[in-house]
Structure 1
Amino acid sequence: MPQFRVVTDPDDPAVAPFRAIKERDLVGREGLFIAEGETVLRAFVRDAPQRVVSLLIDPKRRDKLSEVFAGLPDETPVYLADQAVLDAIAGFHLHRGVLAVGRKPEPVGARDLLADLPARAVVLVLCGIANHDNIGGIYRNAAAFGADAVVLDADCCDPLYRKAIRVSVGAVLSVPTARLERGADIADLLAATGFEGLALSPSAPEILAHLKPAPRTAVLLGAEGPGLTPEVMARARTIGIPMANGFDSLNVATTSGIVLHHLRFAHG
């Protein structure tokens, strides 16, 4: 069972990793990350309990989380702090009353990750997506529709940023992920690992509803506004999602959900 300890002093060194969350999230945590909220904690302990470093919770939530504590490795520190102390530690009002410090996984090479996937696989390749809400929403869809992996280019934001984790409902903690080095050739990577790249475009000659995907399919998604580069688009199969009344724009997270649902269920 974890080790419980009451904290009454916000300056207690034991809870230093939880201190001034908003400011420190902007500069990183040297291989660690912060997860917030009961739902995220449950997903974290279910999917990667060995990566939980410590918890900080409101004592009022202790009984409700008893089964979560049972899933933690022995000796995991669980710090109990009343609301006022929690707020002083975090640097803002922590109404969810649950924080966890986690250890980031070791980086995985994108080529190795893709090559090791099954003969039938669907992956997302994200290019230049710097909005944490969008990253979290995409990961939530990836988990919901069974994407096998997510590959991030060098310009994507960190999916283990606290807000991205929260928006994903903890999905970023379980979906296999790799990050590309700057300048990596996405088309070459997909060709080498047997994936067909699909790029969404309003002017595409083929529409999603009629698409019969390849056994190994990679959905390429770019940032809202600039989208995918012409070089990436030129070497991918372009697909369109028809919209009403001439509208030609969808949120990138919404797009990911529509495409993944089709790839997973439209053809049985």
Structure 2
Amino acid sequence: MRELQAMLGVSRGVVSGLITAGFVSPLRGPRNEYRFTFQDVVLLRTALQLRAARIPPRKIVMALSRLRKALPDELPLTGIRVSAVGSDVAVRTGPSQWDAVTGQLLLDFEVAEIKGDVVFLDTTPAQENLANQAQEWYDLGEQLRTSDVNGAERAYRKAIVLSPKPFYAAYVDLGALLCELEARCEDALHVFDEALTHFPQDAVLHFNRAIAFEELGRFGDAEQSYKRCLELDPSYADAHHNLAILLEKRGDPQGLVRHLNAYRRLTT
């Protein structure tokens, strides 16, 4: 329940009210605690958004009941977008768009007719639409990183693939996420290397790359990456600190003193 509240940004009372109203039926764990599935999270988030859009409660329940049957058990790679269109609910899954209550497939034009009224379903330019989708996947990765590492990784990677231009934050956070897992440091290194092809002068990427090298025991490469980071940003205190410790391990007492002093000057 606490993790779900944090993901949705609402109080326990709001979540409990949505459960009581029948929007979701979570399972119970061994200590009688609520256990929410990916489907539950999508449905609850959708219920909040539709309620804020003033969709009638009865129509929300009907829409979510049909949506529940269509949702996969795990995070979908195609993405799911649910939006209020007038008093109706439209669902997009990958290239398909359909009415959440009737199940009727909606034609993928900029405008379509629903119940005789012309409503705008998607007038966003393609590039802007991709950027919005990439941002949504990135936000999902941020929400999942403490509770579902695999889901967070997939969300970050989807954000990188969808983004019309290199997605700096997604690269940084994906690499950091992988580097927290000892067995994935090599994968993290590949992420940072790819990011550096787009942002070669970024000190943070060189710093994170150095950490990945250290975790892999490639101390010479780590030293060079820390030095490159400091060439780009001499005031990067953490890089001075880490390089000082690394140089001590490598038998360079002068380097240790030089970078430790620099670290102290920058942090006092």
**Where is the strand percentage greater, Structure 1 or Structure 2?**
1
Q: Which has the larger radius of gyration?
A: 2
**Where is the helix percentage greater, Structure 1 or Structure 2?**
2
